[in-house]
Amino acid sequence: MSDSTPSLTTLPAPPASLLTGASLFLDFDGTLAPIAPTPDGVIVDEELLAMLGDLRDALEGRLAIVSGRSIATLRDLGFGGFLLAGTHGLEFAQPGEQVEAPPRRPAVDDAEAAFHAFAHDKPGVLVERKSISVGLHFRGAPQWGEQAGELATDLAERLGLAVQPGKMLFELRPGGADKGSAVHALMARSPMAGGRPLFIGDDVTDEEGFAAAAELGGAGILVGPPRATLAAFSLEQVAAVRHYLEKGVVRPG
């Protein structure tokens, strides 16, 4: 995050005019889909995919999904036709093309084994195996959150991995990238180059995306209640994001 002073006041809603000429970066969980009790409890409906497809066309291709999910999972969820940045900026893929990603490190397997050892006698604690990272979820058993965080921090130090905090979640992944670096990388090439970056997200991992969008002359839109943020605008919830994005879709007739 940059040194700018974060704001705790309620931010204004984004004007629809921001969508004109935008290069749009969309987070997934908590932004395009409401938070569900478990990672695989999320549903992506056909209507959302169709609306995003229309919006991408209206923006001449300048729409990317930038998520903490792996690209394999984003494709399974139905986003195969979109430009994707996965695993918090570590993976990239153009529609239908191979994923550009670092290999899965043995250290991530070691972390996964340690997470399983921690979770096995704690109902509600869940290990999420991802392509090049691993998550420890405690949404189903919040009382274990503090210990989960201590374990993740300790493992990160011992195994040379980065801790990525999330919503009721700690992930371990290789460092060296974040959603901000993903925005910079994508803005340097087609189809995202040339537009004004607009990053919409809800989680702490989206703050680097807000910062990068602002650095490049655009803005961030925070989804959810006020908090310390580098976003300039806010939308209350997922339904409001969808309503806002629909304003950018040009339909014949």
Ligand X SMILES: O=P(O)(O)OC[C@H]1O[C@H](O[C@H]2O[C@H](CO)[C@@H](O)[C@H](O)[C@H]2O)[C@H](O)[C@@H](O)[C@@H]1O
Q: How far apart are alpha carbons 36 and 208 in whole angstroms?
A: 24
Which is nearer to ligand X, 141 or 253 (by Cβ)? 141
The string of DSSP letters for 59-113 reads TTT-EEEE-SS-HHHHIIIIITTSEEEEGGGTEEE-TTS--B-PPPPHHHHHHHH
For the CB of residue 46, give the shortest distance to ligand X in the complex, in Å: 19
Q: Going by C-beta distance under 8 Å and a sequence separation of 6 or more, which residues neighbour residue 230?
A: 1, 2, 4, 6, 207, 210, 211, 214, 220
Residue in 27, 29, 202, 203 annotated catalytic: 27
φ and ψ at residue 99, rounded to 5 degrees: -80, 130
For the CB of residue 252, give the shortest distance to ligand X in the complex, in Å: 32
Q: Which residue has the tokens 């180059």?
A: 193
Which is nearer to ligand X, 37 or 102 (by Cβ)? 37
Q: Is the Cα dihedral 74, 172, 166, 9 positive or negative?
A: negative
Q: Can you give the binding site for ligand X, defined by CB under 6 A? A: 27-30, 35-39, 42, 67-69, 128, 130, 135, 137, 139, 166-169, 171, 203, 205
Which is nearer to ligand X, 15 or 142 (by Cβ)? 142
> Quick check: is 154 catalytic?
no
For the CB of residue 49, give the shortest distance to ligand X in the complex, in Å: 15
Q: Which residue has the tokens 């300048």?
A: 62
Q: Which residue is nearest to ligand X (CB)?
A: 68
- In Å, the largest CA–CA distance within the chain is 60
Which is nearer to ligand X, 35 or 163 (by Cβ)? 35
For the CB of residue 75, give the shortest distance to ligand X in the complex, in Å: 14
Give catalytic residue positions.
27
